[in-house]
């Protein structure tokens, strides 16, 4: 794992956006997995605008969503589906056949996970996975003490995730389960970008870098990935010392 600290969030987002564009240039038929949340917003804005400005051909490129809250319809602005539509898929006018997102209202959630796994296989595996980090160190909805040896699955959400997740919703919302890509997908992904910004992430970033690698803090698993970047702004890196650097 390589980690880099940027002075401001804007520089982090700029680096990440260029990296995503490079992924498409080097494999125009490839597959990118996108996280949602506050962290990657600016990265996605720059990614979308630069991809268009630079006239990169993404007409055969594919996108999938990392996770989704169970019980949340596509029309709910707090959901992951809505976020990716609004910030990436609609602005880029990505064709339906070129993306696949979890349906949080699926009648059969097990089949929903198998369908996602199947889609990833069909698109020859994930070239680039963009992930954030939860306040408890989760990746997607891979919560502390979950099984890292899984592809997509239905996850029970921890109390922290249920509470922190309220920030995305206008009204108090029941959040108890999530659909998520598993850490098997994370390790199989040919490249990973993990992004963190803001002082509220400083403590979990210190633990991600200095705690033993274990499922107590799932994000520590990034240190085992062969081709991963951890990109931080100075606020998120505030509790790291020279030893870490």
Q: Is 138 a catalytic residue?
A: yes
Supply the minimum distance, in Å, between the C-beta of residue 59 and ligand GLP: 27
Q: Which two tokens stand for residue 32?
A: 């990118």
Give the HSE-up count for residue 186: Cα atoms under 13 Å, Cβ half-sphere: 31
When binding is defined by CB under 6 A, the residue of 24, 30, 39, 43 that contacts ligand GLP is 39
How far apart, in whole angstroms, are the C-alpha atoms of residue 213 and residue 221? 6
Nearer Cβ to ligand GLP (39/103): 39
**Using CA atoms, how far apart are residues 44 and 136, in angstroms rounded to an integer?**
24
DSSP 165: G
Interaction between residue 165 and ligand GLP (CB under 6 A): yes
Catalytic choice (87, 100, 138, 225): 138
Contact 133, 236 (CB under 8 A): no
Q: Is 155 in the site for ligand GLP (CB under 6 A)?
A: no
Point out which span in 5-13, 16-24, 31-39, 116-124 binds ligand GLP (CB under 6 A). 31-39
Active site residue 233: no
Measured between alpha carbons, how far is 77 from 169 in angstroms, rounded to an integer?
Answer: 7
Tell me whether residue 57 is one of the annotated catalytic residues. Answer: no
Q: How far apart are CA 125 and CA 157, in angstroms?
A: 26
35 binds ligand GLP (CB under 6 A): yes
**Does the footprint of ligand GLP cover residue 141 (CB under 6 A)?**
yes
Q: By CB under 6 A, is residue 228 in contact with ligand GLP?
A: no
Structural tokens at position 217 = 């803090």
Q: Is 161 in the site for ligand GLP (CB under 6 A)?
A: yes
Range in contact with ligand GLP (rule: CB under 6 A) among 5-13, 30-38, 121-129, 229-237: 30-38
Cβ atoms 168, 147 nearer than 8 A: no
Cβ proximity to ligand GLP, 27 vs 234, nearer residue: 234
- Judged by CB under 6 A, does residue 37 bind ligand GLP? yes
DSSP symbol at 80 = H
Instruction: Select which of 67, 68, 112, 233 is catalytic.
Output: 67
Is 136 considered catalytic here?
yes
Minimum distance of ligand GLP from residue 207's CB (angstroms): 15
3-state helix/strand/coil string of 1-70: CEEEEECCHHHHHHHHHHHHHHHHHHCCCCEEEECCCCCCHHHHHHHHHHHHHCCCCCCCCEEEECEEEC
Nearer CB in complex with ligand GLP: 94/157: 157
Residues that bind ligand GLP in the complex, under the rule CB under 6 A = 35-39, 66-67, 131-132, 134, 140-141, 161, 165
- Residues marked as catalytic: 67, 136, 138, 143
């Amino acid at each position: 794992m390589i980690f880099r600290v940027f002075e401001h969030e804007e520089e982090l987002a700029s680096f990440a956006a260029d990296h995503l564009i490079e992924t498409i240039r080097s494999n125009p038929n490839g597959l990118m997995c996108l996280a949602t949340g506050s962290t990657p917003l600016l990265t996605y804005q720059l990614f979308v605008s630069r991809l268009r400005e630079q006239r990169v051909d993404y007409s055969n490129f594919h996108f999938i969503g990392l996770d989704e809250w169970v019980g949340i319809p596509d029309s709910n602005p707090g959901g992951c589906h809505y976020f990716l539509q609004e910030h990436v898929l609609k602005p880029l006018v990505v064709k339906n056949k070129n993306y696949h997102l979890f349906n949080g209202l699926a009648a059969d959630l097990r089949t929903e996970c198998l369908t996602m796994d199947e889609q990833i296989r069909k698109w020859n595996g994930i070239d680039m996975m963009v992930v954030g980090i939860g306040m408890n160190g989760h990746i997607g909805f891979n919560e502390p003490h979950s099984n890292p040896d899984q592809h997509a699955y239905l996850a029970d959400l921890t109390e922290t995730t249920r509470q922190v997740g309220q920030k995305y919703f206008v009204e108090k919302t029941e959040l108890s389960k999530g659909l998520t890509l598993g850490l098997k997908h994370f390790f199989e992904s040919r490249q990973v970008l993990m992004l963190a910004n803001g002082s509220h992430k400083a403590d979990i970033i210190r633990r991600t870098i200095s705690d033993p690698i274990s499922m107590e803090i799932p994000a520590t698993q990034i240190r085992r990935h062969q081709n991963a970047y951890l990109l931080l702004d100075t606020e998120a890196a505030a509790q790291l010392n020279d030893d870490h650097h």
